Amino acid sequence: MPRGIMPCEAYSGNEGELMQLRPNRVKRKLEAGEPAFVIGGFTHADDIDSFGPVGFDGVWLEGEHGGVDAADLGNLTRACDIWGMTSVVRVNRNDQGLIYRTLDRGAQAIVVPHVDSRADAENVVAGGKFPPLGRRGLFTSRQGYGVPGYLAEANDETLLIALIEDIEAWRNLDDILEVEGIGVFFVAPSDFAASMGHIGDVGHPDVQEKIEDALRRIVAAGRTAGTLAMTGNAQRFAEIGVRFFFTVTSPWVAAGADSFRAAVSEGI
């Protein structure tokens, strides 16, 4: 856990004491130039609690393809808050109302799919930031209950993540990178490959070349690059300049299961 960020630090428990806005751990680490580690694969608050002591920076809550709905977000984001982890929610479309409603439900970061143009990126900011940066509806998020001045401070703790997952986004990347207010430009490999006609073949040389080119251009522009990373390629992405690292639990579970079975077999 980074220095100065402790679970539940927003409230000391003293009667009548005002709340402080919870820090966005992922956002702060990225702004400091440090890598941020985000885990995906959880749909229940108890699972987030069990993972909390591991020390990751954020939890990716899958609202585009997975089973996370608006009604679930209160408990899921509260579990993240307990451990000082950033709640990172992927929504299923680039819709201003959906973006700020998800923030209202307690999310600290929003992932928006298929940001293919400058206009798409500007729409993300419009939905995810309060005026004067955007047009987010003026409502106090669950993160803002009891926080004086929440509407004036929330933009500083709200992280917006644009998915660069189509070849069209690669073509328009220079224009997209000029949009202020986007905290991470995340190159998503599977949809990227499909948009190039290589569905299911992320390892195709043309796909890998375009993905690496996109990441390098993001870094060269002085913006923050993110991508899906596994143990085998995380070092390579770090060398390129990626700082937002998203991974999932399933490969770890599979590797642990294989190792366990192998250990038993060796003793028989």
The 3-state DSSP class for residue 87 equals: strand
pLDDT at 16: 56
Give the number of other CB atoms < 10 A from CB of residue 43. Answer: 14
Cα(218)–Cα(206) distance, rounded to whole angstroms? 18
Q: What percent of the chain has pLDDT over 70?
A: 94
Instruction: Report yes or no on whether pTM surpasses 0.85.
Output: yes
Cα(267)–Cα(95) distance, rounded to whole angstroms? 56
φ/ψ of 233, rounded to 5, equals -120, 0
pLDDT at 67: 83
Contact between 89 and 63 (Cβ < 8 Å): yes
Question: How do residues 177-193 score in pLDDT, each as one tens digit?
Answer: 999 999 999 999 999 99
Report CA-CA distances (Å) from 118 to 161, 176, 185, 256: 14, 4, 12, 43
pLDDT at 26: 98
Q: Which residue has the tokens 């500083």?
A: 156
Cα(114)–Cα(92) distance, rounded to whole angstroms? 10
Task: Mark whether 44 is an active-site residue.
Answer: no
249 pLDDT higher than 50: yes
14 pLDDT higher than 90: no
Contact between 159 and 24 (Cβ < 8 Å): yes
pLDDT at 66: 83
Return the amino acid letter for 77. T
Q: Of 65, 114, 198, 204, which is the active-site residue? A: 65
Cα(63)–Cα(43) distance, rounded to whole angstroms? 10
Contact between 204 and 51 (Cβ < 8 Å): no
Cα(103)–Cα(268) distance, rounded to whole angstroms? 54
10 pLDDT higher than 60: no
Question: How do residues 89-119 score in pLDDT, each as one tens digit?
Answer: 999 999 999 999 999 999 999 999 999 999 9
φ/ψ of 186, rounded to 5, equals -105, 115
Cα(139)–Cα(87) distance, rounded to whole angstroms? 19
Quote the DSSP letter at residue 153. H
Report the mean per-residue pLDDT for the chain: 93
Contact between 29 and 36 (Cβ < 8 Å): yes
- Rg (C-alpha) for the chain, rounded Å, is 19
Strand partners, 88: 60, 109
Report CA-CA distances (Å) from 46 to 24, 80, 116, 246: 21, 10, 36, 20
Question: How do residues 25-53 score in pLDDT, each as one tens digit?
Answer: 999 999 999 999 999 999 999 999 999 99
